[in-house]
Amino acid sequence: MATEAAQRLANAEVIAVPATAAAKPPIPPLIKRNTILIAASQVCTGMGMGLLPTLGALMVFQMLGSMALAGTAAVIQGVARFGVAYAAGAIADRYGRKPAMMVGLIVAGIGAVVVGTSVAISSFPLLVVGLFIFAMATGGSMQMRVAATDMYPPSRRAEGLGYILTGSVFGSIAKAGLITFASMVAVHLNVDPFALAWWLVPVVLLPALFMVSRIHPDPKDIGLNLQDYYPGTDVSPRRLNTAVQLGSGFRNYLRDFTKLTVFVSHFGVQGNMSMIMVVTALTLSHHGHDLPAIAFSSMLHSLGMHAFSIPQGWVTDRIGRRPVILAGLLFAALGTVLIASTGDYWIITLGFFLVGFGWCGVHVAGTVLLADVSEPHERARVIGSNDTFSGAANLLLALAAGPVMAFMGTNVIALISIGLMVAPFLMVLKMKERP
């Protein structure tokens, strides 16, 4: 019988990882302190990092005057993330999450200065360099998610990630304020408002750098000794099956159906969002809405991405990862349809919000599922592999968004976006999630 059971495990398509309804263990004070520091740093990080998706297409259009090339900024972001995501994860696995986060914040500040300067002197080559440097820094800042999954047991892991991501909500609100402030002050200083907004980024990242420096011990060390912080709680990683253990490394991750399903799901929602970010900003600008109005719409989109991270985390821990990912894919598709179906500001903004809300569900549930099926010493590489897929989505879909919108219209964008959801939806349905 034991042999038969082992064989069934070996042949299983996937055994995913839902949370149980058992009593949750209390969060130790040290974990609470680290969580607050990381979440607070996300406020500053979200304010700065949010400028690229909000202003990227508009800056390129301002310099080149071509709608077909408006997706260039998102493409650059995709290339950078695709190239450094796994490497950043490998560094975080080797040296810890804290050093990776600090290096990412420093590099982001440097990149922001270069971007602002390129806008001020209207140099497109320098803009490409600055955006690439800035986008590379996201690899380090993404380790904040890994840090959250390190510090919590499976039964509270999505909740812990929700606390971290919620910090980005206030960053999104502050981002709109930063852009509006730059627009108002730039008139009096006789500088480009885009340039001033980027020059302010290093200022808002300094508090984040300080807060990250106060995290102790490194979340990786907590993850490696999780039983010490949650005595009597099941903190062991769950796996695809217990009969065959796959090794570390990108190729092995692709052989794991659970990980591959999350990778493809993130590719779908990230590719959809990268196109919609290009389309929405240009559509609103085309209909005569000014920069503060566009920033407000982007802020609501960002709220959809992060404001509901905690409740989505609670739901994920209670009912499982699989249904939340499925719902996220459906919400993202619905938002895309709303954006493409009208020129009304509020309907477009509602669709933009739903695209972010759907992304949030896939992001929260997918990230904790990857953490569930990986060991702490490889977790950053696993999540970095996921970021590689997201980077590929940005690279391919943002590159296509401008030409498709210019020559075929937003309806074709909607069809492509919905098509991106089909494969991951079917793969998630195939997952067999059980305790």
pTM for this prediction: 0.80
What whole-number percentage of the chain has pLDDT above 70?
87
Q: What is the pLDDT of residues 192-240, one digit of tens each?
A: 999 999 999 999 999 999 999 999 999 999 999 998 999 888 776 554 4
Burial of 9 (0-12, 13-18, 19+ CB in 10 A): middle
What is the rounded distance in angstroms from the CA atom of residue 363 to the CA atom of residue 428?
14
CB 351 within 8 A of CB 336: yes
Report the pLDDT value the prediction gives residue 365, as an integer from 0 to 100.
95
Per-residue pLDDT band for 22 (boundaries 50, 70, 90) equals very low
The domain ranges of the chain are 27-236+248-433
Q: What is the pLDDT of residues 308-367, one digit of tens each?
A: 999 999 999 999 999 999 999 999 999 988 887 777 888 888 999 999 999 999 999 999
* Axis crossing angle, helix 97-120 with helix 143-150, rounded to the nearest 10: 160
How many whole angstroms separate alpha carbon 421 and alpha carbon 313? 22
C-alpha angle 344-55-50 in degrees, rounded to nearest 5:
100
The answer to whether the CB of 103 falls within 8 A of the CB of 69 is: no
Residue entry with tokens 């299983």: 12
- Residue 21 pLDDT > 70: no
Query: Using CB atoms within 10 A of its CB, is residue 13 exposed (0-12), middle (13-18) or buried (19+)?
Result: middle
Q: What is the DSSP string of 101-157?
A: HHHHHHHHHHHHHHHHHHHHTT-HHHHHHHHHHHHHTHHHHTHHHHHHHHTS-GGGH
What are the backbone angles phi and psi of residue 409, rounded to the nearest 5°?
100, 170
CB 403 within 8 A of CB 409: no
Region 101-117: mean pLDDT is 93
- So what's the pLDDT on residue 53? 72
Angstrom distance (rounded) from CA 151 to CA 153? 7
Over 70: is that where the pLDDT of 266 sits? Answer: yes
| CA–CA gap between residue 69 and residue 124 (Å, rounded) | 12
The CA-to-CA distance between both ends of the chain, in Å, stands at 21
Distance between CA atoms of 237 and 89, rounded to whole angstroms?
19
Q: Which residue has the higher pLDDT, 171 or 321?
A: 321
**Hey, what are 255's tokens?**
């052989």
CATH superfamily placement of domain 27-236+248-433:
MFS general substrate transporter like domains (1.20.1250.20)
What is the structure's pLDDT at 72? 79
Of 94, 176, 80, give the one whose Cα is nearest residue 136.
80
* Range 254-279 average pLDDT: 89
What 3-state DSSP class applies to 167?
helix
